[in-house]
A = this chain, B = another copy of it.
């Protein structure tokens, strides 16, 4: 393709972009999920729940963190429908609401690994 055609195509793409970019509202859901994944505590909670359902206390113990902190973070994850909970005896057990999440994590790890190979 000639340089002029390239530039012409580029201008067309640029013109379309402004109209076709998703609006804030439809992006917000995705951004909020990524925000949730952008915290080490929440990621660890998710990775732990990927192995087995756990009570709040068990998570706090496993991650060596306060019960309150874990509870706060679980409520964040729950609001985003990333986890669900159910009482079991005197505890409340949390579980991942969707195995999709782990797929996303794996994909991201792959990106990182391929990135490291660039050096």
Contact = CB atoms under 8 A, between A and B. Distances in A.
Interface in A90-104: 97-98, 100-101, 103-104
A43 B34 CA distance: 10
Interface string A79-119: 00100000000000000011011011101111110110010
Interface residues of A, number: 51
Interface of A: 10, 13-14, 16-18, 20-22, 24, 27-40, 43-44, 47-48, 51-52, 54, 58, 62-63, 81, 97-98, 100-101, 103-105, 107-112, 114-115, 118
B107 A103 contact: yes
A104 B108 contact: yes
B62 A21 contact: yes
A10 B43 CA distance: 21
B104 A107 contact: yes
Contacts of A103: 107
A114 B33 CA distance: 14
Contacts of A22: 47
Sort A-B residue pairs by CB-CB distance and give the 9 closest, nearest first: A35-B38, A34-B37, A34-B38, A38-B38, A100-B111, A13-B52, A29-B112, A104-B107, A31-B40
